[in-house]
Structure 1
Amino acid sequence: MLDVRRMQVLRAVVTSGSISAAARNLGYTPSAISQQLSTLEREVGVVLLERAGRGVRPTAAGSLLSEHAEVLSTQLAKAEAALADLKDGRTGRIAIRYFATAGAALVPPAVAALRRELPGIQVDLKLVEPDDPLPEVESGAADVAIVVFPRATPPAKGVELVHLLDDPYRAVLPKGHPLARKRVLGLADLADEQWVGNEWPPGPCQEIVLQACGAAGFAPNFVVESEDFQTAQGFVAAGLGVSLLPELALNSPHPGVVVRRVRNPTPLRVLYAAVAAHARDNPAVRTLLDALNSR
């Protein structure tokens, strides 16, 4: 197998026209250059240089190898530059997993900021719902996931949690509902109401609601189950019940509902970015986290 470094030495000799000139340019001794060339000629089995006055000139084989050495040098320079870009986070790929409300409110502006800052980064975006996006980070299949806490089990060892925001729940009532006259509701005010569920199958968001209702002394009577927050608003607007929805999901409330604050207690979900251990020091991931936290 040909040695790339020896081919580069040959290229330096051919372009400079002499061994002594190549030695000066490369910072070697003439004897070291001659030794490299002798070894290269033994490897290829042909003469590569011949005397020409006080200097040397390439044989046909020497010219051929010299031309290939130039191509290799160019490709190596490109490879080194590409590797430097990758190490510095200017290129590469980042895999992001999220749930629907985070996808609508948090992820798009953060990804836009990432693209402006690091346009060479490829972004792999995937909505994971109703499944939990955290396992993809724990397995290393994703770099970052937006996740909800509290939850029954902590993340796997090595997963870094970065706090993004606290997202309080609000009461969502049909327009004209008697409780709509109040600006702030006690959670116990909803104890005797029929309820519209908004997470099916049940997950951490519904568990937060159930725990808050339990603290207020009642268990909600779910008469309708829906799979997402927007559909739940439609059921509430139709008068089928009341619901509790996180504030992040109410940027565009249904025209047939009213939204009220609740207290005693106020249900709260906390949003984190879960970062895989392998991606913790990735500059692109840090840029993304900065953008998520700038909301």
Structure 2
Amino acid sequence: MLDVRRMQVLRAVVTSGSVTAAAAHLGYTPSAVSQQVAALEKEAGVELLERFGRGVRPTAAGRLLTEHAALIGRQVAEAEAALADLRAGRTGRIVLRYFATAGADLVAPTLARFRAGHPDVRVELRLVDQADAASPDGEEPDVTLAVLPRDAPAPAPGSRLVHLRDDPYRAVLPKGHPLAARRTVDLADLAAEPWVGSERPGPCLDAVLGACAAAGFTPGFAVECEEYATAQGFVAAGLGISLIPLMGLGSRHPDVVVRRTRGPEPVRTIQAVVRESSYALPAVRALLTALQEV
């Protein structure tokens, strides 16, 4: 295999026309330059230089390797420039996994803000199911949005959690419900109601059940649908009440009312799971900042 460093020494000799001039340019001794060229000739199995007057000139093989050395030099310079841009956060590629209800309220405005300051950084979006958002699946995203408790450990080795926002649940009631006249509903007042389940098993449902347990009851689910828009439809039809996170209420059914809850207020915590190697990149940290600001 040809030694790239020795090819660059050969290029310096050919460019300057003499071993002595190349040595002065490279900061080597003439003897060291001659040794590097001799070693390269041994690797190539052919002479690369021939004497010409008081200097040297390349053989056909020497010209060939000199041309490739120049090409390699340009590629290395381009790689160094690209690496500098990546380290500075000017370019790069970020893979972001997100779940559906984070799309409109969180991801979309974040990308608009981020691209304004980082137009040459490509963000690839991958939609995943909330229940699987923090689970490894063979892919290696840089950032994954997930619902995880504030005190949760990082879900995978080599990752960290960055808190983004708390997403409170709202009581969704059919119009005409006795509690609809209140601005805020005590969670305990919903204990005897039939419930429309809007969450599948996982951290979101855990947040709802944990708040209900703190209020002294376990909700009785009359209908389970695991989808926010459908849950609103069941509530509007009078089949029960529901708790839906604020980020899941972007499109509201005309026949329901939405009220704050208390005693306690159920909250799901949105966190970013970030690969440690990615967190070192300025562009990734800038994206996390944009997520927190939004």
Give yes or no for TM over 0.5: yes
Deviates more, 1:163-172 or 1:88-97: 88-97
The answer as to whether partners of 2:207 and 2:266 remain within 8 angstroms in 1 is: yes
Find the aligned partners of 1:154 and 1:39 in 2 and give their Cα distance. Answer: 55
Shift of 1:158: 5.1
Q: TM-score, normalised by structure 2?
A: 0.87
Deviates more, 1:151-160 or 1:207-216: 151-160
Shift of 1:290: 0.6
**Is it true that 1:3 corresponds to 2:3 in the alignment?**
yes
Find the aligned partners of 2:69 and 2:160 in 1 and give their Cα distance. Answer: 46
The answer as to whether partners of 1:168 and 1:268 remain within 8 angstroms in 2 is: yes
- C-alpha change, 1:256 and 1:16, in structure 2 (3 Å) is same
Match of 1:224 in 2: 223
Match of 1:34 in 2: 34
Find the aligned partners of 2:148 and 2:33 in 1 and give their Cα distance. Answer: 65
Structure 2 counterparts to residues 149-228 of structure 1, below 5 A: 149-150=148-149, 154-156=153-155, 159-200=159-200, 202-228=201-227
Find the aligned partners of 1:163 and 1:195 in 2 and give their Cα distance. Answer: 30
The answer as to whether partners of 1:50 and 1:59 remain within 8 angstroms in 2 is: yes
Structure 2 counterparts to residues 67-146 of structure 1, below 5 A: 67-136=67-136, 141-146=140-145
- Secondary structure, in 3 states, of the residue corresponding to 1:185? strand
For these two proteins, the number of residue pairs brought into alignment is 293
- C-alpha change, 1:214 and 1:2, in structure 2 (3 Å) is closer
**Is it true that 1:266 corresponds to 2:268 in the alignment?**
no
Shift of 1:63: 1.9
The answer as to whether partners of 1:96 and 1:145 remain within 8 angstroms in 2 is: yes
- Secondary structure, in 3 states, of the residue corresponding to 2:126? strand
CA deviations on 1:12-34 (whole Å, 9 max, x unpaired) are 22222222322222222233222
- Secondary structure, in 3 states, of the residue corresponding to 1:189? helix
Find the aligned partners of 1:9 and 1:194 in 2 and give their Cα distance. Answer: 82
The answer as to whether partners of 2:142 and 2:274 remain within 8 angstroms in 1 is: yes
Q: Which amino acid aligns with 2:98?
A: Y
Find the aligned partners of 2:24 and 2:96 in 1 and give their Cα distance. Answer: 52
Shift of 1:189: 2.3
Match of 1:246 in 2: 245
The answer as to whether partners of 1:216 and 1:265 remain within 8 angstroms in 2 is: yes
Find the aligned partners of 1:196 and 1:232 in 2 and give their Cα distance. Answer: 6
Shift of 1:271: 1.6
Match of 1:16 in 2: 16
Find the aligned partners of 1:226 and 1:152 in 2 and give their Cα distance. Answer: 29
Find the aligned partners of 2:116 and 2:136 in 1 and give their Cα distance. Answer: 26
**Is it true that 1:63 corresponds to 2:63 in the alignment?**
yes
Q: Which amino acid aligns with 1:177?
A: H
Q: TM-score, normalised by structure 1?
A: 0.86
- Secondary structure, in 3 states, of the residue corresponding to 1:136? coil
- C-alpha change, 1:47 and 1:166, in structure 2 (3 Å) is closer
- Secondary structure, in 3 states, of the residue corresponding to 2:243? strand
- C-alpha change, 1:287 and 1:223, in structure 2 (3 Å) is same
- C-alpha change, 1:44 and 1:181, in structure 2 (3 Å) is closer
Find the aligned partners of 1:147 and 1:225 in 2 and give their Cα distance. Answer: 22
The answer as to whether partners of 2:130 and 2:146 remain within 8 angstroms in 1 is: no
Shift of 1:98: 2.3
- C-alpha change, 1:291 and 1:41, in structure 2 (3 Å) is same
Unaligned ranges ≥5, structure 1: none
Q: Pairwise CA RMSD of aligned residues?
A: 2.7
The answer as to whether partners of 1:7 and 1:69 remain within 8 angstroms in 2 is: yes
- Secondary structure, in 3 states, of the residue corresponding to 1:279? helix
- Secondary structure, in 3 states, of the residue corresponding to 2:251? coil
- C-alpha change, 1:153 and 1:25, in structure 2 (3 Å) is closer
- C-alpha change, 1:207 and 1:4, in structure 2 (3 Å) is closer
CA deviations on 1:36-82 (whole Å, 9 max, x unpaired) are 22333333343333333333322323222222221222222223333
